[in-house]
Amino acid sequence: MSEDLENRLEALEARIVELESIEGVRAAILQYAHVHDRGMSDAVADLFTDDAVLDITGYGEQFDTSLTGQDAIRAMYNRLDARHNFNPPFKHMLTNCQITVEGDEAVAITYLDEWGGPQTDKGPGGGLYHDRLRKEDDGQWRFSHKRIISVSEQTVDEAVKEGI
């Protein structure tokens, strides 16, 4: 095999790995919205790593929180879903998903619009997800840090300036 062909094959393999990673990250983000909207709190928590961090900011005192660990995240979603008899009124719509792959980690910024959820003095339930995901040993991409940020009173640049 020629050196040129070997280089082209190597580049193609790298691109396929990157595209598979991007699709795996996108699938995790979409699965989060889908199972959250169906009141499946255990399935939501299973999308997070054991040591994950979940931050919710800008939605007001009763909603803003910071949690560490899959068990704490599971408990929060169970409490939230129990308030709606595990059939919540949430309907998330996700758009503008920008994913940057960094080996077995990825960073994603996804715009969020949500209907039917609780109203706050900050406006409707829109915002963005600023996520860091990790590909785990089972091949699944899971959230290692998820930030849910209201952007009703700030720009996108202000919301993501801290990094993740």
Mean pLDDT of 88-96: 87
Interatomic CA distance for residues 79 and 22, integer angstroms: 31
C-alpha closest to that of 148 among 124, 130, 121? 130
**Helices marked H in the chain:** 3-37, 41-45, 70-82, 156-160
Express each pLDDT in 127-159 by its tens digit: 899 999 999 999 999 999 999 998 877 778 888
The pLDDT, as a whole number, for residue 123 is 47
The pLDDT, as a whole number, for residue 142 is 98
**Pairing between β-strand 91-102 and β-strand 105-115 as defined by DSSP bridges:** antiparallel
The CATH number for 123's domain is: 3.10.450.50
The pLDDT, as a whole number, for residue 111 is 94
Domain count, the chain: 1
Q: CA 33: distance to chain centroid?
A: 8
The pLDDT, as a whole number, for residue 156 is 81
| Prediction pTM value | 0.89
The pLDDT, as a whole number, for residue 78 is 95
Mean pLDDT of 110-126: 64
The pLDDT, as a whole number, for residue 141 is 98
Express each pLDDT in 41-73 by its tens digit: 999 999 999 999 999 998 888 889 999 999 999
Lowest mean pLDDT among 22-26, 36-40, 48-52: 36-40
Which residues neighbour 20 within 8 Å (Cβ) at sequence distance 6 or greater? none
- Cβ–Cβ under 8 Å, residues 131 and 107: yes
What six digits make up the tokens of 72? 């704490």
Range of the domain at 86: 3-160
Mean pLDDT of 10-28: 96
